[in-house]
Amino acid sequence: MKTIVHNPFDREPVAEVPLIDWPQIDEWLSEAQLLHRDRHGWLAVHERIAILRRAADIMRERAQDLALQIVREGGKPLVDARVEAGRAISSVDLCVQALSDGGGHEIPMDLTEAGAGRTAYTFREPIGPVVAISAFNHPLNLIVHQVAPAVAAGCPVLIKPALETPLSCQSFVSILHEAGLPEAWCRFAPCGNDIAERMVTDPRTAFFSFIGSAKIGWMLRSKLAPGTRIALEHGGAAPVIVDNGVERAAVIASLLKGGFYHSGQVCVSVQRVFVPAAELKDFANDLGRAAEKLVVGDPADAQTQCGPLIRTEEVDRVERWVDEAIAAGGTLVCGGSRLSDTLFSPTVIVDPPESSKVSQEEIFGPVICVYGYDDIDLAIKQANALPYAFQAAVFTDRLSIANHCIQSLAGSAVMVNDHTAFRVDWMPFAGLRRSGLGVGGIPYTMADMSIEKMAVWNWPTAAS
Amino acid sequence: MKTIVHNPFDREPVAEVPLIDWPQIDEWLSEAQLLHRDRHGWLAVHERIAILRRAADIMRERAQDLALQIVREGGKPLVDARVEAGRAISSVDLCVQALSDGGGHEIPMDLTEAGAGRTAYTFREPIGPVVAISAFNHPLNLIVHQVAPAVAAGCPVLIKPALETPLSCQSFVSILHEAGLPEAWCRFAPCGNDIAERMVTDPRTAFFSFIGSAKIGWMLRSKLAPGTRIALEHGGAAPVIVDNGVERAAVIASLLKGGFYHSGQVCVSVQRVFVPAAELKDFANDLGRAAEKLVVGDPADAQTQCGPLIRTEEVDRVERWVDEAIAAGGTLVCGGSRLSDTLFSPTVIVDPPESSKVSQEEIFGPVICVYGYDDIDLAIKQANALPYAFQAAVFTDRLSIANHCIQSLAGSAVMVNDHTAFRVDWMPFAGLRRSGLGVGGIPYTMADMSIEKMAVWNWPTAAS
Amino acid sequence: MKTIVHNPFDREPVAEVPLIDWPQIDEWLSEAQLLHRDRHGWLAVHERIAILRRAADIMRERAQDLALQIVREGGKPLVDARVEAGRAISSVDLCVQALSDGGGHEIPMDLTEAGAGRTAYTFREPIGPVVAISAFNHPLNLIVHQVAPAVAAGCPVLIKPALETPLSCQSFVSILHEAGLPEAWCRFAPCGNDIAERMVTDPRTAFFSFIGSAKIGWMLRSKLAPGTRIALEHGGAAPVIVDNGVERAAVIASLLKGGFYHSGQVCVSVQRVFVPAAELKDFANDLGRAAEKLVVGDPADAQTQCGPLIRTEEVDRVERWVDEAIAAGGTLVCGGSRLSDTLFSPTVIVDPPESSKVSQEEIFGPVICVYGYDDIDLAIKQANALPYAFQAAVFTDRLSIANHCIQSLAGSAVMVNDHTAFRVDWMPFAGLRRSGLGVGGIPYTMADMSIEKMAVWNWPTAAS
Amino acid sequence: MKTIVHNPFDREPVAEVPLIDWPQIDEWLSEAQLLHRDRHGWLAVHERIAILRRAADIMRERAQDLALQIVREGGKPLVDARVEAGRAISSVDLCVQALSDGGGHEIPMDLTEAGAGRTAYTFREPIGPVVAISAFNHPLNLIVHQVAPAVAAGCPVLIKPALETPLSCQSFVSILHEAGLPEAWCRFAPCGNDIAERMVTDPRTAFFSFIGSAKIGWMLRSKLAPGTRIALEHGGAAPVIVDNGVERAAVIASLLKGGFYHSGQVCVSVQRVFVPAAELKDFANDLGRAAEKLVVGDPADAQTQCGPLIRTEEVDRVERWVDEAIAAGGTLVCGGSRLSDTLFSPTVIVDPPESSKVSQEEIFGPVICVYGYDDIDLAIKQANALPYAFQAAVFTDRLSIANHCIQSLAGSAVMVNDHTAFRVDWMPFAGLRRSGLGVGGIPYTMADMSIEKMAVWNWPTAAS
């Protein structure tokens, strides 16, 4: 069994990757469990640091190739692929950093007589075998976010990439091995969904990390073996509140990036923008005009700003959703149609009904919806009405509005004067409600993949 | 529908408590969701502090009654019930304390150009409606550990106590209301298992806190609605390593408390003690002699050290497990038999087979198993061999052995020269593997019941 | 030798307090040193907690008397004295809280081979004998801020109150003793300045805490014995920037409190207000009208908002400074004159020259200066131009201005839409430049009075 | 004016370095003050990170040369100089790391009504111009510890190296400039003592960092300008307790390193070793035999373990102290004499009187004193009896003794089974009593060179 990797732009085959079968996975899981149980064979922290530093150095040398590979398998425009490669490297650096932060604390014991005379402190230990399943949209950096923390934390890890984009994953795993990580500590495990599910739900799996669709993520949680821990990172339909009177040009520039970056295939992509009703028309027109100027095309071209969707079926789906929204009363401002089997034009829709798919579900395509509001509290209520909550944003120069939105918008992060897709790799990054489980971001993932063990010493009395 | 509460010692009825039906629970869940969504109605932190302080004051006044009620419904010996009442009060105090610790952090944004010029910090928000299901063995303090952090964190909470011991829960909920907590923020919800499951798995439940059997806990996880968070606290079969040459009397005194406190009905009760083979016989005899001296009987009697098991079926079960262990080759040192329908004598078994239930599963009764070892690493291996891992212990005065056990024993806490049931209410308390999920202890539970929300400010430039 | 305490309002004698002579201080210092060196005699943390809790309870019972005593010896208006008493009690509570926070950390040792295999963690120990000298303006709460953290941290402490206001200090020390603190751990040490200096500069003094004038504080630093640590809390001439377009009434209400509270005898009192030139006249007039309405008089009267200055000499000095400012070109808007030997009327001056004393030095009286600005950056420059820097403030609803001021105003704290005297007792409170040394606030003072000791364990290898 | 640098081994001149005169220092101080006051000209954190990373890379390339230079000017044996160079590089890395840790915290404001509705958080700002004076014994790494944190924290810095060893300092400053740090941010400032004192005590100096003798350090503190902050790192006479029954060979190997590394010219060098009286003779003989085997000679020789003292006067002084100790009753076990004008033989003295200089003052030469004890508490008392306290150690495999020593030995760090000179560059490193002021170690120094500024937001109410 194997999977054929296609260039999402022209659907040309790029590479073949053999799929791993269950007996192999089964063996790897046992091996991982043994590695974890044999404390004498653990890699010392300074060994892990050395490996990760070498890996980052290798990546720095190959950054250009890694970027091109992201373009080739993932269809992300070159300029953005370069940024991704740079972030992936810095994410490896962040793992080294997070190791230095320790994580242990003294727990005072003498607050009551019951604990008096004892000393207690905590320290971190690897949680055990990690199984990770990743998504296609950032084929290198997502992998790094799931695999490098496991290596840093001292956990053996099996990683299943998205089958559309396994090459960046394969490269990163190879680089780790090249940097000195014994192969058994990190296994490249592309496989079919049934086998993936078996791997995930196996009782030997101590921690399961998933980036992908909410539906599959929560289904997998319900099938986990007792004792298996889990982190989920899904998407949402990220809302943006625009206050009245803000300088429109800057806001639009930010939203263009936040909504059309990687053609909207980002889990915190700007999807729903709420604008004062009085400014709605002008705002939407300006946004539409700007969107029309975006360069859509071959991601390998350095000028391209929006590349293909990952699969033709996705183009079909986005087209259907947009059509539905227009038919139900939304106004198309720009875009709205497929440019090819893999390209969809950047699209702005004004006031699609709240019940339409584009208002309810994650689009994961180049579509921004703009809604007018008279009462900001109603806009916030609508922004919060979905079962998803991840990152949200407000554009304003008023303290009152900024704080009101920070407090009131549902989400784990509220940006003031930045779009919803803003992210640095060391910050917490957490889907709430159905948008995810646990907290991502390098140091947080490392904490998740560790246990905080406590030693409590009841000291014997010294007699000289 | 109602449940009749019996005194576990004499099986006399003590009280009746009406059970809550689904329509009522359903209404409470909706109410809880609305409370959480209406940010303007949230209780300010200083209001919550005032309520919790008043509640603690009321509890201090009624401490004696609360202790007697623990005796009456739970069968815990009076002296230990008094300790529990005291700890419950101090657990409320700890909630106030944890509120002061804040929890937010600045996240530096200017480590790369991508984030430069921004300010970011995190702060805590309530996670939403909490549903809690509790256990019988600490009828007041467990309830406090599940309910008070929810109140402190600002979450509406529905609490289902163990149906054997609902009275302490009812008292605590009443005290909260008396202290000024509006009733809707905390609902006393004793109900049947089917209704409890419906409540737990309802999508309006944001967080589910469970203390009880591993089997039920993990089953409930598999049925949760997408988006619901969870904490589980189960038990284990806690191991103790005794080094050679330690002063036996002190170790035995500690193990007696750790193994026979509340007749072993404690999730981190001492269950498996590993002793150097050369000292095994003397150690077991001394332990047996000490166990035989324990006063077993009516928990209301101030002299009683071991009271009843919670139900006759539990006496039956413990009897079967002990019989099985002896039949399979274990040596009975003391106890081993029922004293009445509700009392089981403190029991010490030497070298029951590894495959016997007393070596494999949580006994939750007054039984300590003692195993001889020649090689401490094999003892540790056996200690770690179960799918459970919670607290472990070692008795030694040697640095080398202490550290080796701290590092090697599976568990979230390793006590040096204390028994496995050692706990103070502010320390982390976490079942690993199948023994639990998440971290208990007042400040940790409060963190679990909160989200850490981040505000990222991209500052507009000042022009005067 | 004794000091006579006068009511600052009517100069009537209130009480006599004997002064302590050097032989007694000398003995106390030796005693303190011995207490600190004899680790076996240290009070356990739970004992200190119990003492502090009892002390807070006693204070709660006597809150009214404590407030009246503050009025009597300090001349603080009753309504504010009540607030002070409440804060003093809560400051004792905060000490208990801070003890629970521990303070120790694991220091990871295995980041390099040099440290590999070791475990290290830190924990707190008392620093040793504390000598504290306090100020008159918050006769109870300042004492609590200097003494209670010492007791909580486990340090013996000698406290010299301001000789104008020794009674609140005496009461607090008595309450500590009544609450169970052995007398030797806290000594009430009113004495003359020469003896105070001898006490401060004695080599047995491990930590010196000073609240008072900058001149004396820095002079004492230069005379400390080698090894003695120090914290200084002086004052400044706190600046406020008012943005254009803010709602004037709210700002003025806040500045009235911040500038005239306790007749300006507060180290972070509002002193220099910068207002857009176009709004200067209206702003100053409104502020003046509001200041004129303040009730000035007997602090024991519940209606009084501004009471006396602590000494007639202070009235004289404030009068001279105001006269000088007016003579040099400042415009008097209201007040500007003495009402009696102890009362000075709330005063607003517009545009006193930058070189005048009221623009350069801490007034410590009921005087607010208002300056017009055209360019906010020049206003900030002027605000920052003094060798003092403590708390600053800005009133605005614009994000851009708020952040600009937060970043640019010199000080340890910048309030947005609060006056400069805003303080809660758990926040950091630190004079920068000549305004102080170290960080005040209960948990910070406790950290200062502790050392963070590290244990590094190089584990021997276990051989069973 | 210039200083001539000599090779301490053969006293041959190595280089000349011009000394800086006051007009130049004066100009640099003004420049530094202006740099700090002009916030717009500050280097962004990501710029500082880039500079420090480049500097570390350059140092990695020149590590061999840097090590040889340490040998040449400092006389440190080559093998140890290489370790120092490696640590210096990693200390620069640690600065980058510490920048990522941020340091800001949310301060909850709503614990009382007084603060309710506000948001507060802290963040770090550079403290201002740093003046540093360094010592000769680690000519590169000490400089890095004083200069790199200043650069990382964003402070302009003037560094005066020890005039015996200015070359490593000069190299490091040049490397910083080469890495992109504008020259004005870091000035190489070798100068005479009178000018150094003028620089230190100038009011423009915000922070003064000193590594050197206690006498000079505390004298300089007494002359600082009001407002100037300070950190001092002096030495002590580090004590070691050896428990009975420990394996002697390992202890001696550790003490040899801890006592004779860089011929004892280390501020935490092992100086006073307390051994059970019954083992004293054997212990001292074994230690003596091992010390005699140390290779003493030309530090440029890769085999050399002990090189020269920094100046002939130091050899004279050490000789006098040893002679005095022997004359007063101490027993010489080995060494005790000069081998040349610059070399002193590794020396072990048994039971020198407590009053002798070697028992009272820091030797800063290759001398270890061994004392017998019968009662460990008396040994601890003697260990603690000096006005110095820095790092201490105990060798034991008994928990009881380990904890007793950790608790009882005066010092900021107690090593268990490591010598007193153990240090990694990220751990806290603090002289207590007269041994220093403030806490060293990269992240701690960076905190010292920053202020933690707080923003308190009182939010206006949103009206849509």
**Helix or strand holding residue A242 (H, E):** strand A238-242
Best mutation target, B111, B397, B418, to test chain D (most D CBs within 10 A): B111
Best mutation target, B208, B218, B432, to test chain A (most A CBs within 10 A): B432
Give the per-residue pLDDT at C463. Answer: 58
> Is residue C40 within 8 angstroms of chain D, CB to CB?
no
> Reduced to 3 states, what is the DSSP secondary structure of residue B132?
strand
- Say whether D100 and A426 touch across the interface (CB within 8 A): yes
Residue B325: DSSP 8-state: H
Contact residues, chain C, for A116 at CB < 8 Å: 44-46
The list of chain D residues with pLDDT below 50 reads 464
d(Cα A5, Cα A15) in Å, to the nearest integer?
Answer: 5
Q: What is the mean pLDDT of residues B414-430?
A: 97
In the numeric block, which tokens belong to residue D281? 């003779």
- B121 within 8 A of B103, measured Cβ to Cβ: no
> Is residue C113 within 8 angstroms of chain A, CB to CB?
yes
- Say whether A399 and D460 touch across the interface (CB within 8 A): yes
d(Cα B192, Cα B199) in Å, to the nearest integer?
Answer: 11
- D384 within 8 A of D409, measured Cβ to Cβ: yes
In this complex, the residue of A39, A109, A414 whose CB is nearest that of residue B455 is A414
In this complex, the residue of B111, B115, B454 whose CB is nearest that of residue A428 is B454
Place of tokens 């309802």: B202
Instruction: Report how many helices (DSSP H) and strands (DSSP E) chain C contains, helices first.
Output: 15, 19
CATH 3.40.309.10 spans which residues of chain D? 238-416
pLDDT for residue A9 is more than 80: yes
Indicate the pairing of strand C238-242 with strand C391-395: parallel
- Say whether D396 and B396 touch across the interface (CB within 8 A): no
Contact residues, chain C, for B460 at CB < 8 Å: 399-400, 403
The CATH class of the C238-416 domain is alpha beta
d(Cα D128, Cα D206) in Å, to the nearest integer?
Answer: 5
Q: For chain B, what is the mean pLDDT? A: 97
In this complex, the residue of D104, D399, D400 whose CB is nearest that of residue B105 is D104
Give the per-residue pLDDT at D1. Answer: 86
CA dist D10 → B382, D6, D297, D312 (Å): 64, 8, 10, 11
Under CATH, which architecture does the A2-235+435-455 domain have?
3-Layer(aba) Sandwich (3.40)
pLDDT for residue A174 is more than 80: yes
* The one-letter amino acid at B8: P
Note the helical H segments in A276-332: 277-292, 312-327
Q: List subunits contacting chain B, requiring 3 or more Cβ pairs under 8 Å.
A: A, C, D
> Is residue A245 within 8 angstroms of chain C, CB to CB?
no
Cα dihedral angle (B86, B91, B97, B102), rounded to 10 degrees? Answer: 170
d(Cα A53, Cα B300) in Å, to the nearest integer?
Answer: 64
- Tens digits of per-residue pLDDT, A221-234? 999 999 999 999 99
> Is residue B462 within 8 angstroms of chain D, CB to CB?
no
Q: Which residue of C has its CA nearest to B99?
A: C97
- Say whether D111 and B46 touch across the interface (CB within 8 A): yes
In the numeric block, which tokens belong to residue D140? 């590169």
d(Cα D103, Cα B106) in Å, to the nearest integer?
Answer: 7
In this complex, the residue of A111, A408, A433 whose CB is nearest that of residue B39 is A408
Give the per-residue pLDDT at A461. Answer: 80
CA D42, D48, D50, D55 dihedral sign is positive
Residue A340: DSSP 8-state: S
> Is residue B452 within 8 angstroms of chain D, CB to CB?
no
- Tens digits of per-residue pLDDT, A333-382? 999 999 999 999 999 999 999 999 999 999 999 999 999 999 999 999 99
Q: For chain A, what is the mean pLDDT? A: 97
* CA of D35 vs chain B CAs: smallest distance (Å): 19
Q: Which one, of B359, B41, B37, lies nearest residue B206 by Cα? A: B37
CATH 3.40.605.10 spans which residues of chain B? 2-235+435-455
Give the per-residue pLDDT at D463. Answer: 58
- Say whether D424 and C109 touch across the interface (CB within 8 A): yes
Q: What is the mean pLDDT of residues A241-270?
A: 97
- Tens digits of per-residue pLDDT, B103-134? 799 999 999 999 999 999 999 999 999 999 99
Q: How close are the terminal C-alpha atoms of chain C, in Å? A: 71
HSE toward the beta carbon, residue D83, CA cutoff 13 A: 14
The list of chain C residues with pLDDT below 70 reads 463-464
- Say whether D464 and A377 touch across the interface (CB within 8 A): yes
**Helix or strand holding residue C139 (H, E):** none
**Helix or strand holding residue D422 (H, E):** none
- Say whether A229 and B413 touch across the interface (CB within 8 A): no
In the numeric block, which tokens belong to residue A45? 């922290």
Q: Which residue of C has its CA nearest to D426?
A: C107
Q: Which one, of B106, A279, D258, lies nearest residue C406 by Cα? A: B106
> Is residue A399 within 8 angstroms of chain D, CB to CB?
yes
C216: left (phi over 0), alpha (psi -120 to 50) or beta: alpha
- Say whether C108 and A116 touch across the interface (CB within 8 A): no
pLDDT for residue A399 is more than 80: yes
Rg (CA), chain B: 24
- Say whether A106 and C122 touch across the interface (CB within 8 A): yes
Contact residues, chain D, for B110 at CB < 8 Å: 44-46
CA dist A382 → A377, A418, A433 (Å): 9, 20, 16
At C157, phi and psi to the nearest 5? -140, 135
- Say whether A459 and D97 touch across the interface (CB within 8 A): no
d(Cα D410, Cα D385) in Å, to the nearest integer?
Answer: 9
d(Cα B349, Cα B332) in Å, to the nearest integer?
Answer: 5
d(Cα A239, Cα A242) in Å, to the nearest integer?
Answer: 10
Q: List subunits contacting chain C, requiring 3 or more Cβ pairs under 8 Å.
A: A, B, D
Rg (CA), chain A: 24
Chain A contacts in chain C segment 184-223 (CB below 8 A): none
- A114 within 8 A of B424, measured Cβ to Cβ: yes
Q: Which residue of C has its CA nearest to D454?
A: C413
**Helix or strand holding residue A25 (H, E):** helix A22-37
Q: Which residue of D has its CA nearest to C216?
A: D226
Confidence grade of residue B175 (pLDDT, cut at 50, 70, 90): very high
Give the per-residue pLDDT at D461. Answer: 80
Contact residues, chain C, for D460 at CB < 8 Å: 397, 417
- Say whether A110 and C400 touch across the interface (CB within 8 A): no
> Is residue D42 within 8 angstroms of chain B, CB to CB?
no
- Say whether D464 and A97 touch across the interface (CB within 8 A): no
- Say whether A456 and B214 touch across the interface (CB within 8 A): no
Give the per-residue pLDDT at B101. Answer: 83
- Tens digits of per-residue pLDDT, D224-244? 999 999 999 999 999 999 999
Give the per-residue pLDDT at B420. Answer: 98
Angle between helices A78-100 and D78-100 (to 10 degrees): 120
- What are A394's strand-pairing partners? A241, A416
pLDDT for residue A462 is more than 80: no
Give the per-residue pLDDT at A463. Answer: 58
Q: What ipTM, to 2 d.p.?
A: 0.96
Q: What is the mean pLDDT of residues A438-448?
A: 97
Indicate the pairing of strand C432-433 with strand C388-389: antiparallel
- Say whether C108 and A119 touch across the interface (CB within 8 A): no
* The one-letter amino acid at B168: S
* CA of A374 vs chain D CAs: smallest distance (Å): 8
